[in-house]
Amino acid sequence: MRKDTGRTRKIGELIQRELAVIIPREVGDPRAAQTTLTAVDVAPDLSNAKVFVTHLGGEEQGKAAVAALNHAAGFLRHRLRERVILRHVPELRFHYDASIERGDTIERLLAKARSERTE
């Protein structure tokens, strides 16, 4: 991830809040349902923003949701432009965030190690 300045961090938070409202209401693709935006990483020049998402259905459905969201990226950028006051709205690129699954895997491994140690 890039080094965040205060400005890019605030713009990322704004984009995340607005997309969290726009996506469930206005994206008609069912693959994009049940997604959660975990982070938005905005480039220092505001040219693009990486939007990280997770999906309740797991990695396979999450990657399908990312494909749907990337397909709708132009529409979402247009809707953002209507809702926020920015001179330039960054180009949106959606990425699947597997950190939650990795965290769950690590937690299970730690629990297994603890239970083996107590036996």
Query: Is 90 exceeded by the pLDDT of residue 100?
Result: no
pLDDT digits (tens, 9 = 90+) for 60-87: 898 999 999 999 999 999 999 999 988 8
pLDDT of residue 96: 94
- 3-state SS of the chain: helix, strand, coil percent to 5? 55, 20, 25
Q: Who has greater pLDDT, 78 or 3?
A: 78
Residue 55 and residue 36: Cα distance in Å, rounded? 6
pLDDT of residue 1: 46
Q: What is the overall mean pLDDT for the chain?
A: 88
pLDDT of residue 57: 84
pLDDT of residue 118: 79
**What is the widest separation between alpha-carbon atoms in the chain?**
62
- Written as six digits, the tokens of 36 are 């959660």
Question: Is residue 40 within 8 Å of 1, Cβ to Cβ?
Answer: no
Query: Is 50 exceeded by the pLDDT of residue 9?
Result: yes
CB-side neighbour CA atoms (13 Å) of 30 = 0
**CB atoms near residue 5 (< 10 Å):** 11
**Model pTM score:** 0.81
Q: Which domains does the chain have, with CATH numbers?
A: 6-118 (3.30.300.20)
